[in-house]
Chain A
Amino acid sequence: MFRSVAALGATWTAAHWPAVVAAAEHARKVAVSPESQKWEFFTPAEAKEVEAVASCVIPSDGTPGAREAGVVYFIDRALVTFSVDDQKTYRQGLPGIQKRLKELFPDATTFSSATAQQQEAVLQSLDEAGAKNPPHRPRANFLPGSAAQPLFEVLRAHAIAGFLVDPDSDRRGNRGGVGWAVIGRDPGHSFQPPFSAIDKDYPGWQPVSSGKDANAK
């Protein structure tokens, strides 16, 4: 259960783990409420496949992932609101994922019921942009939003957005703030200094000519 937590650093885990657990439990409660079960675009079968792919993008590996954050609900609403142009990409792209699964693993039935290794292999074969993409500076129109993009690329972006969107918004993503808890973002919207151990002991700005060495540790 804790297999990926080592990568997060012991300090982070100690400080955030209780909050992460509490948030995850809250998210689960929200996730099973009847209101959240209504699909605005997907068929139940499509939703199941989309959730499985999103869960590979941000897995539930000891801390909450796309599943606990309700990312599939975020995507479902996105496709009838700001990402309405991507409806076709999903509707026509999901059978493509199924097809690739069958090509690689003839015995498998659906992506959502495939093994973790099979799922990873399928997505790796679909990840055309690859792992060596140069970073792009985030800018205003940040979602793919164009039908020209392959489904995996759009779904990956939607999963990230659905995991990290402001949990107080009506987007149905980042349920209970679990995404923010995972990255270590305090759920608040107003903060007072000190913001970190670094600024806690800062003596204040001094002109160089005063002879005081502000560099001294």
Chain B
Amino acid sequence: MTNAVRPEQTKYKTTDIVDFVIVGSGAAGGVLAKELSSNGFSVVVLEQGPYLHESDFSHDEVKVLQEDLLTNHPKLQPTTVRKTPKDKARLQRAFVYGRAVGGTSNHFTANFWRFHEIDFKERSKIGAVPGSTLVDWPISYADLEKYYTKVEWEVGVSGLAGASPFDPPRSKPYPMPPLPVKANGIIFERAARKLGWNPFPAPMAILSQPRAGRSACVNCGFCLGFGCEVKAKSSSLVSMIPLAEKSGKCEIRPNSYVHKIAIDERGRASGAVYFDEKKNVCLQKAKGIILSCNGAETPRLLLLSASNKFPDGLANSSGYVGKNLMFNSSAVSVGVFEEQTNDYKGYAVSRILHDFYELDAQKVGFYGGGGLDARFDMTPIGFGFGGLPPGSPRWGKDFKAALAHNWTRTFEIYGHGTSLPVQDNGFDLDPDVQDAWRLPALRMTYKDHPDDLKLAHWLAERSHELLAAAGAKQKWTFPIDEQQFSVHLLGTCRMGDDPQTSVVNSDHQAHDVKNLFICDGSSLVTSGRGQPTMTIMALAFRAADRIALLAKRGDLSA
């Protein structure tokens, strides 16, 4: 592991009162670190995971996926899962998130399309949805547009502006053309057009051309779950963190596990308490604290920071910390084709469609919307475990022959869509289970809103129509069950104007603590239709502007 800190790096003492401590270095934390340090603020980023680089990455599925090279460790950080508050939670892995500098942006698939206008004001348009706490955002698509553009140009997104008739308005084209099309994209595009749908080149946070000292994609085929060895994937690690360090005002401090926000006698955040690599307890002092841990660890940190002043957890006067968890509903259908597609080569998704973004609830009988894409995100071992059609032999010569035939002829149609916010869905502290640092473990409570499951089935039906139109020799859908596991962790500290029903305001400032900010997946008010990372990054660019303005005005120390 190349954990060694390079000598020229900026370092702060824990006793230095820096302008900002940012907890987490992922999609949001990386952007905030770069923006605030470039703006002259002193910044310490506390990241619980190690500082890995391209040379540490690997295509060894055991090392990366089984041993969690880049991700949270279920043995050190156990979680428990239950469906409703009445149930007893069971020890079970609830989620995967990035646990290294760069966070989940290291290993994501890199689908990077903008949310649409409807995602921000759906409640006003469709009215109340029974069983859901659906509300509008306090900001609109127009407020975020220029920040989406910043993500595309500064982080690096490949795509074709205007290719989708459903795309929201944009101020600038993409900085790079789409990546080379894959066979699954072509098959998808031809079949979708037969059905009258509007497929378009998928916008991806992967470089199609060399840019900013980073290589274009070399099509190795190890995207989902893996770090990119050539810096083509636009993670925080390669796009934002180097610029933050270059500013001379930012220290990235890995292996620093923050477990409490310190509060002064005025009820302001005064620093972040963390375990260093040797489990020593340290306190980094700061004028302002920004939490960008993710939709699970951010609410956990707030709940762990309960005190006499904040008995229900920090910034939790609303009781909304950890509530309204959303995942994005999904359905995965698979087709096997006669001709070889060799989709193991290259990134995952080259064509996508958004014809179903806004479904008419009166017609379909449920609330929601989404899209379809063609992808192949399986790596060899994963394919060996779960890539063959139902009823296939599980061992022996016929099993081997099926693997040999199907690996180069299989791809997935991925249906991605809305998750409705439900009050009881969320995270809190498990009363019985502790992590390796003897801190309460996360307990997840989650039961899909019935409409989310109906949407998943509906998207699977469209996927089957598409696979039939494409001439797939075999097709099936992975069972659509109630979800008990996710990688999209959204909505658990939602933003809003009303301190009674939200945790942060539209500046990402905690309603209860003036110098505490929260910006990550937990800030999202609705789930979008899948693929939240681009929106998280756009929010972070905007939050950095707002936070800088407040800090310069003196609002944080007032």
Query: A and B from one assembly?
Result: yes
Q: CB within 8 Å of B: which residues of A?
A: 4, 7-9, 11-12, 56-59, 61, 63, 65, 78, 82, 120, 123, 127, 129-143, 145, 156-157, 159-161, 163-166, 168-169, 171, 179-180, 182-186, 189-193, 195-199, 202, 205, 207-208, 214-215
A161-B381, A205-B163 known; A183+B404 contact, CB < 8 A: yes
Supplied contacts A123-B395, A140-B68, A215-B190, 5 more A-B pairs, CB within 8 Å: A7-B405, A127-B394, A133-B394, A135-B389, A141-B66
> How far, in Å, is B26 (CB) from chain A's closest CB?
17
> How far, in Å, is B340 (CB) from chain A's closest CB?
5
How long is the Cα–Cα vector from A183 to B189 in the complex, in angstroms? 27
A135-B386, A189-B220 known; A198+B187 contact, CB < 8 A: yes
Residues of chain B within 8 A of A127, CB atoms compared: 394-395
How long is the Cα–Cα vector from A151 to B21 in the complex, in angstroms? 49
* 29 CB < 8 A contacts A-B: A12-B404, A59-B400, A65-B400, A78-B62, A132-B391, A138-B385, A139-B485, A140-B68, A142-B386, A143-B66, A161-B61, A163-B384, A165-B61, A165-B62, A166-B59, A166-B60, A169-B62, A195-B219, A196-B340, A197-B339, A197-B340, A198-B183, A199-B180, A199-B181, A199-B183, A202-B181, A205-B189, A207-B163, A208-B198
Cβ-neighbour of B395 out of A7, A57, A142, A202 (below 8 A)? A57
Please state if A9 and B405 are interface contacts (CB–CB under 8 Å): yes
Interface of chain B, main secondary structure = loop
Please state if A140 and B407 are interface contacts (CB–CB under 8 Å): no
How long is the Cα–Cα vector from A63 to B163 in the complex, in angstroms? 46
By CB atoms of chain B within 10 A, which of A57, A190, A208 has the most?
Answer: A190
Across the interface, name the chain A residue whose C-beta is closest to B344.
Answer: A185
B375-407 CB contacts (< 8 Å) to partner A: 378, 380-401, 403-405, 407
Please state if B65 and A141 are interface contacts (CB–CB under 8 Å): yes
Interface of chain A, main secondary structure = loop
Please state if A189 and B407 are interface contacts (CB–CB under 8 Å): no
Residues of chain A within 8 A of B90, CB atoms compared: none
Residues of chain A within 8 A of B160, CB atoms compared: 205
Residues of chain A within 8 A of B93, CB atoms compared: 140-141
Residues of chain B within 8 A of A199, CB atoms compared: 180-183, 186
A135-B476, A190-B218, A215-B190 known; A169+B63 contact, CB < 8 A: yes
Please state if A138 and B189 are interface contacts (CB–CB under 8 Å): no
Residues of chain B within 8 A of A189, CB atoms compared: 59, 218, 220, 222
Residues of chain B within 8 A of A139, CB atoms compared: 96, 485
Q: CB within 8 Å of A: which residues of B?
A: 58-63, 65-68, 71, 74, 93, 96, 160, 163, 178, 180-183, 186-187, 189-190, 193-194, 198, 200-201, 218-222, 225, 332, 339-346, 378, 380-401, 403-405, 407-408, 476, 478-479, 485
Please state if B408 and A184 are interface contacts (CB–CB under 8 Å): yes
Please state if B71 and A56 are interface contacts (CB–CB under 8 Å): no
> How far, in Å, is A111 (CB) from chain B's closest CB?
15
Please state if B478 and A135 are interface contacts (CB–CB under 8 Å): yes
> How far, in Å, is A74 (CB) from chain B's closest CB?
9
Please state if B385 and A136 are interface contacts (CB–CB under 8 Å): yes
> How far, in Å, is A167 (CB) from chain B's closest CB?
10
Residues of chain B within 8 A of A191, CB atoms compared: 218-221, 345-346
> How far, in Å, is A130 (CB) from chain B's closest CB?
8
Residues of chain A within 8 A of B385, CB atoms compared: 136, 138, 142, 157, 160
Across the interface, name the chain B residue whose C-beta is closest to A138.
Answer: B382
Cβ-neighbour of A190 out of B183, B220, B387, B389 (below 8 A)? B220
Please state if A196 and B395 are interface contacts (CB–CB under 8 Å): no
> How far, in Å, is A52 (CB) from chain B's closest CB?
13
> How far, in Å, is B387 (CB) from chain A's closest CB?
7
Please state if B400 and A82 are interface contacts (CB–CB under 8 Å): no
Residues of chain B within 8 A of A185, CB atoms compared: 344, 380, 407-408
Across the interface, name the chain A residue whose C-beta is closest to B191.
Answer: A215
Q: Which 10 A-B pairs have the closest CB atoms?
A: A138-B382, A169-B60, A190-B218, A198-B183, A164-B380, A7-B401, A160-B384, A183-B407, A191-B345, A57-B395
Across the interface, name the chain B residue whose C-beta is closest to A123.
Answer: B395
